[in-house]
Structure 1
């Protein structure tokens, strides 16, 4: 049923667990995967510590290195598991839209992603990328939640 899985990740510990679970699932069902990361652009006004401590050039260079490390680690895990894996990254503020668009562009039939389970004020202030992907994607979404 599922043959082409998109696994978006931000490199956080929970997202890494979701990548691992997505790779294991893909191996079990004989699917291929695309691991995808979205980096937010530098903002002049930000509460992100990485942006506050950096110039635009420093932030963009560091975020490119970080994204490459995330994708390289995922690719290595997939190769070890024998799962065909592509990787990609983009830079945008509209993270959930980038995920949905990427899934559509590659013809994914499943999105596997983590959810940090923020509720209440945290969800209102920060928002939930997973909830937005669930709301806006016509493609099935498997959400990996922290236990």
Structure 2
């Protein structure tokens, strides 16, 4: 049924539930797991003479954080006997990176978390999951 399942992770507790679901599903189906974490680009508009963090230090920190997130999932996949590819991707909009990565890696299912925001909060903050659902041709399993 599904052969390559993408699970994006931001390291949150709700994402951990999506990761566990994706791992269980991949193991049950004999599918490969593809895990990704999105890094924030350097906020160039904030560049001034008094930068709180130099750009390279910012990039290095973002990579360390994202790499630790995907490493945790890759280790859990290895322990479960599930093949896993891991990547970190820099993007302004995480939903775009998720849609693009799913296509580039030929994923046939995306398992992702939803924080379940409603009303004005959802409208103002937006929903990466909602945007993936809207713009992606790949089926999406949403975990709450």
1:95-141 per-residue CA deviation (whole Å, 9 max, x = no partner) reads 11111111111111100000111112221222100000000111100
Counterparts of 2:45 and 2:123, CA distance in 1 = 19
Provide the residue aligned with 1:79 in structure 2: 78
Residues 1:65 and 1:22: Cα distance change in structure 2 (over 3 Å): same
Greater Rg by CA: 2
Unaligned runs of 5+ in 2: none
TM-score normalised by structure 1 residue count: 0.88
CA separation of 1:121 and 1:72: change in aligned 2, threshold 3 A: same
> What is the CA distance between 1:53 and its match in structure 2?
6.0
Q: 1:94: Cα distance to partner?
A: 2.0
1:132 aligns to what SS in structure 2? helix
- Misfit runs of 4+, over 6 Å: none
Q: Which position in structure 1 is the counterpart of 2:8?
A: 8
Report the RMSD for the aligned CA atoms in angstroms. 1.6
Give the distance between the partners of 1:28 and 1:54, measured in 2 at CA: 45
Q: Which residue of 1 aligns with 2:120?
A: 121
The total of aligned residue pairs comes to 140
